[in-house]
Structure 1
Amino acid sequence: MALTTAPGAAVGGPPTDLPEPLNARPVPRPGRWLSAAVMLVLAAMVVHALVTNPNFRWDTVWLYLRDVNVVRGVGWTLVLTFGSMAIAVVLAVLLAIMRRSDNPVMRSVSWAYIWFFRGTPIYTQLVFWGLISVLYPRLSLGVPFGPEFFVFDTRDVITAFWAALVGLALNEAAYLAEIVRAGLGSVDPGQAQAARALGMTEPRILRRIVLPQAMRVIVPPTGNETISMLKTTSLVVAVPFTLEITYATSAIGTRTFQPIPLLIVAALWYLLITSVLMVGQYYVERYYGRGFDGGATGGRRGGPGGRLSRQAAIRGAGTTKDDPFAEVTP
């Protein structure tokens, strides 16, 4: 590698014919500033319309935002949301595995379940769950068309809460099953074949090889379904279950003849919970996305990509230092 100097410059001294520094100026973007100004004006108009309108009764909103019945409704809404999603996730994984099974009976049962629960409205399903004690006054365990060993009163076993929880979970499982199936299908089948060649069992392959990689595809839509489930709980009045936040605020609004402020109270609580869920979804997505997106996440958080790149850099630096005849690229 040869070094050259400018004519008239002393060897080892600074060059004398450097180019003049560029006097670069940013490209003017008047459209960007104009659109930003328009959006700020529109936002200010919206805020002014909300704050100065006395019909919203913001004093009533603040009063009932911390009401004990409203806070209790928030708690029941969270219980319904996370309880139904937990049951739905377990059922969805089972349905997705059945859908990918070689057994035609398993595939048919999974397809029929998904077809039925995706094809009927959730409100209609909840109405039927509310009428379960009318349709089946007694529940029994025994031999079909034979003797009954245990008999239960349906009203005592399936209360309004359990009817709402099971109804939401069974409906959500049909949608999550397709999400899980898509996630499992996104994993390279060659990895499962390599695991079988190493003697791993099918359940172990699913748990240790396929599912961890499929989570990168499964988590984002599952987070959206969780947020959607939070708002779907407002339909459990069809059971009827009357302790969740929408019914609680509606009852207060009917009693005080101020429905609009109480609707705003419910909307603010939904926005707060949704914001927390979105933050949680972001961190869960980032956790399961380590090593992807060009390896940037792995490098920042010390994931597999970051460890490999640091080890490669150390090895490369050691080779250059220890071997004086190593090729150096200019």
Structure 2
Amino acid sequence: MDLLFVADPLESFKINKDSTLAMMRVAQADGHQLWFCQSRNVLWRDDFVVADCQSLVIKPSSTAWFELGAIEARPLNTFHGVLMRTDPPFDIEYLNTTWLLSAAVRQGAKVLNTPMAIRDHSEKISITEFPELIPPTLVTRELSAIEVFHREHQDIVIKPLDGMGGMGIFRVGPGGLNLASIVETLGENGARTLMVQRFLPEIAQGDKRVLLIGGEVVPFALARIPQGNEIRGNLAAGGKGVAMPLTDAERKVAERLAPILNARGLFLVGLDLIGGYVTEINVTSPTCFVEITEQSGFDVPQFWLKSLEKVLA
């Protein structure tokens, strides 16, 4: 199959743990032809959605690890599959790319995750569809509403809706120290909506990433455990990643959500669970393939590829 990866610049990949690279490697090893472009290279031209893309060969070297061919203009509907793997932020240009990809879908292209599903699922607000699975949560621009929430729950976490990798997450304890200042800064004086949640002390055991692929649950999670005085378990914020089997409670939550999300065109999802609560539903470019595979022995990239081949067959 011809597989087009729409991703960030290859030079930015962390080759020892990049999930997109793990996908590329396993697909190439199975005989599929790889193609690459950035989202800026997806365009509408001559009545078709086209990618100015390049063939891609992954090499075993740890330095010059990829080789790109000449730039070719190909309609997206000429690929067997288009993999949208561009990282957030989900800004206006990300949104523009999803609109172009939706036009490509109308022309027959197979895009995963589907652009409509990506647009419809804010990685943070989407959890509100399942209130029985989430911690006490508030979504607002208003400082007064956050102050009321803080008085009720005492220990809270505040985060922007468009952050990734733990960026911009603050904890405010019972004393409410700097609450107004944090809200004013993060929320740009009411211009940006924030999410506020009751602090979950179970974060000490890890913010667990659970992967859902093709409606199935990967049986191991990556517990991202905060280090030192840090409250964030995100690997980008210095958390330690430890793969471990899903608990019965975690599996129950994941198995409930997996078929629902897959039916909406979300082929690959990264659930974030803390203490059994769903805190985020990541759909743009979920990661942790490499860490789970290396530590558990469960081959996540191969599991992903076999699911992908079924969908694209």
TM-score range, shorter chain: under 0.3
Greater fraction strand: 2
Determine which structure has the larger helix proportion and give its number: 1
TM-score, normalised to structure 2's length?
0.21
Q: What is the TM-score normalised by the length of structure 1? A: 0.20
